[in-house]
Amino acid sequence: MTSAPLDPAGLDRVHAAGLDDVPAVQAFGEQHVPPHYTPLVGAEAAAEQVRRWWGREYLTRAAAAGQLVLASSDGSLVGVAQSGARDGDAVVYKLYVHPGWRGRGVGRLLLGALVDRLPPGADRLWVEHVAANERAGAFYEREGFVVDRVDAGATGDPARAQVWRVRPVAAPAPRTGRPD
Question: DSSP for 141-173?
Answer: HHTT-EEEEEE--SS--GGGPEEEEEEESSSPP
Share the mean pLDDT of the chain. Answer: 88
Q: Within a domain: residue 148?
A: yes
**Sign of the CA dihedral with 69 first, then 53, 88, and 65 last:** positive
Q: Within a domain: residue 178?
A: no
For the segment 115-126, the average pLDDT, to the nearest whole number, is: 91
Q: Within a domain: residue 106?
A: yes
The one-letter amino acid at 18: G
- pLDDT of res. 174: 54
What pTM value is reported for the model? 0.86
Q: Within a domain: residue 135?
A: yes
The one-letter amino acid at 53: W
Q: Within a domain: residue 33?
A: yes
CA 52, distance to chain mean position in Å, is 15
Q: Within a domain: residue 2?
A: no
CATH number at residue 58: 3.40.630.30
Q: Is the pLDDT of residue 58 over 60?
A: yes
Q: Within a domain: residue 175?
A: no
H helix intervals, 42-176: 43-53, 56-64, 106-116, 134-142
Instruction: Tell me the pairing of strands 124-130 and 89-97.
Output: parallel
Q: How many domains does the chain have?
A: 1
pLDDT band at 24 (very low <50, low <70, confident <90, very high): very high
Residue length of the chain: 180
Domain that holds residue 27: 7-168
Q: Under a CB-based contact definition with an 8 Å cutoff, are residues 34 and 43 in contact?
A: yes
Q: Within a domain: residue 179?
A: no
For the segment 29-45, the average pLDDT, to the nearest whole number, is: 93
